[in-house]
Amino acid sequence: EDQVTQSPEALRLQEGESSSLNCSYTVSGLRGLFWYRQDPGKGPEFLFTLYSAGEEKEKERLKATLTKKESFLHITAPKPEDSATYLCAVPKTGGYNKLIFGAGTRLAVHP
Amino acid sequence: DVKVTQSSRYLVKRTGEKVFLECVQDMDHENMFWYRQDPGLGLRLIYFSYDVKMKEKGDIPEGYSVSREKKERFSLILESASTNQTSMYLCASSLGQLQPQHFGDGTRLSIL
């Protein structure tokens, strides 16, 4: 069964304390993985797409990496404004448009 | 930047009412989607449309229908609203297959 699991569920960091969020997936023939950021009361905001194992993408303090079984979102020297829920999603097996979303990681960065 | 606009941020309706949620995108995207988001259940796909007048069921289509008469507009219809349809509804659009989906800010719907 297609599944996306994110860990940890919640993460509390001090400002400047780097860490990583994990997204593991079980789908046949991965065709892409998407990372989103969601602020309270808002829709998810697209961050990255990764299409193949070994691929990396960066944006400011965020760096996403992909292996054959999981993806990591590395946050370097986070700031309070990085506090949000981070979601990952993959296309379902055989479904190019149907995404399965993980439950998300709630990140809180304290000054 | 892609802009996906949902007509209402908050909506309160009564059980049995027919409810319309509207979504408009301004980037000429082929695909449009409706999700609901509930605590502990995450984002679940209700319906999506890959062209005008074309639609496909998602994971939880029961109790919902959709309409796409123009490329930029995608409507979600609750035929007879029930309390278990109280949720945050999110609309999204994408350029094509395996392209990122871009979301609106959601409609928080309460059915009393």
Token pair of B82, please? Answer: 């029930």
**Which of A92-96, B60-64, B105-109 bottoms out in mean pLDDT, i.e. has the lowest?**
A92-96
Rounded distance between C-alpha atoms, residue B59 and residue B99, angstroms: 20
Contact by Cβ (8 Å): B89, B106: yes
CATH value of B4-111 in 2.60.40.10, 3.40.220.10, 3.40.250.10, 1.10.357.10: 2.60.40.10
Judged by a CB distance cut-off of 8 A, whether residue B89 touches chain A is no
A96 versus B15: which is more confidently predicted?
B15
pLDDT at A94: 75
What is the second-level CATH architecture of the domain A3-110? Sandwich (2.60)
Q: Which residues of B touch A101 (CB under 8 A)?
A: 42-43
Q: Does the pLDDT of residue B20 top 90, yes or no? A: yes
Q: Does the pLDDT of residue A84 top 90, yes or no? A: yes
Q: Which residues of A touch B58 (CB under 8 A)?
A: 98
Q: How confident is the model at residue B29 (pLDDT cuts 50, 70, 90)?
A: very high
pLDDT at A30: 80
Selected residues 36-95 of chain A with any CB under 8 Å from a CB in chain B: 36, 41-46, 49, 51, 87, 89, 91
Interior CA angle at A40 toward A37 and A42, to 5°? 70
Q: Does the pLDDT of residue A96 top 80, yes or no? A: no
pLDDT digits (tens, 9 = 90+) for A5-24: 999 999 999 999 999 999 99
* Domain limits, chain A: 3-110
Smallest CA–CA separation between A15 and chain B, in Å? 27
Determine the average pLDDT of the residues in A36-52.
95
Determine the average pLDDT of the residues in B34-45.
92
Q: Which residues of A touch B40 (CB under 8 A)?
A: 103
Question: Between A and B, how many residue pairs show a Cβ–Cβ distance under 8 A?
Answer: 53
Rounded distance between C-alpha atoms, residue B55 and residue B48, angstroms: 6
Q: How confident is the model at residue B33 (pLDDT cuts 50, 70, 90)?
A: very high
pLDDT digits (tens, 9 = 90+) for B47-101: 999 988 889 999 999 999 999 999 999 999 999 999 999 999 999 999 988 899 9
Determine the average pLDDT of the residues in A92-110.
89
- Number of Cβ within a 10 Å radius of residue A9: 10
Sign of CA dihedral A4, A9, A7, A22: positive
The reply to whether residue A43 touches residue B92, judged by beta carbons under 8 angstroms, is yes
